[in-house]
Amino acid sequence: MRCDELGRHRDASPIDTGWLNGKRILVTGAGGSIGGELCVQIAERTGRLPFMLDRDDEHLCRTLYRLDPACNLVRPELVLSDIRDPGRLDQLFAAIRPDVVFHAAAMKDVVLGEAHPIEAIKTNVHGTINVVEASRRVGVDTFVNISTDKAADPIGVMGRTKRLTERIVAAAALGQQGRWLSTRFGNVLGSGGSITEVFRRQIAHGGPVTVTHPDVDRYFMTLSEAVALVLTAGGIGRSGDTCILDMGDPVKIHDVATLLIAEAGGGIDIAITGLRPGERLSELLVGPNETAEPGPNPSITHVRVPAVSQAGRAREIQRILAGATSAAYASNS
């Protein structure tokens, strides 16, 4: 198997995005890999551009260039804003009045999140709260939060903040009209931070390719496949659900490195560096206290995530900060 075939070994699943037709759609994190692909597939499937929100002007323009050959930077769908700014979000949502929100904006790097937990909390937790509240105020019909497999029985800052976002969205579902759900999946091939892209850069520089542990493994899915299933999950998920995408079997990272080196002609060493704070050998898609239930699409299962109160959010933030400080910096002292 070639490395670019990872994540393509499952039978094709039915993709149904008809529920998006005629809706005003907003994507946060539209300049990122997943957010950008969401924008592209929404435009292709509905014939309309979504509203594309990101704080990084360069990345936002990069997404627009994929959709608008004229590169019209003043078109109304281009929204330059930071999800950390609740006042600005309220103004924008009141003007746009989206029917559907895909919340892809996040801090995603495990190691950086462990080293800078306050920044991860500001973006992943407080940023999500801001987007949820702005969405509630304008009566959004469907809210889809993009989560991660690291949210299942999380051990590090990134996983724990994303787990908290799932619980925040589940809390928004209580007593609210519309549907509020999350989607959970693992590594995405072709994304900016994908391990395959890191390995290719290391190979281009002559190596070594760094692998944290010879037995570490991860789930993989192609970017286009992941986003197509996210769009489908938005139409079938129950309010309060976390929808888990089928990612097949996990793949050893050492095997991925070996494949990429072979494709490049060989001659590159692999260096074992050791697991870093916030990392573990294997990820889960379903936590030990969760029960996955089948749904109408065979590639999407559903779990119920407990809602969190405002006081519970504050307590969990303090636990995340305490755990990050003891785990991340003790190893560097």
Query: Do 8 and 225 contact (CB within 8 A), yes or no?
Result: yes
Query: Do 181 and 232 contact (CB within 8 A), yes or no?
Result: no
Bridge-based pairing of strands 51-54 and 179-184 is: unpaired
Which of the residues 23, 108, 122, 150 is marked catalytic? Answer: 150
Instruction: Measure the CA–CA gap between 74 and 215, rounded to whole angstroms.
Output: 49
User: Does the annotation count 122 as an active-site position?
Assistant: no
Query: Do 77 and 105 contact (CB within 8 A), yes or no?
Result: no
Instruction: Measure the CA–CA gap between 136 and 251, rounded to whole angstroms.
Output: 39
Bridge-based pairing of strands 25-28 and 100-103 is: parallel
Bridge-based pairing of strands 293-294 and 179-184 is: unpaired
Instruction: Measure the CA–CA gap between 244 and 241, rounded to whole angstroms.
Output: 9
Query: Do 146 and 34 contact (CB within 8 A), yes or no?
Result: yes
Bridge-based pairing of strands 300-304 and 270-272 is: unpaired
- Which among 140, 35, 127 is positioned nearest to 97, based on CA atoms? 140
**Residue positions annotated with a catalytic role:** 150
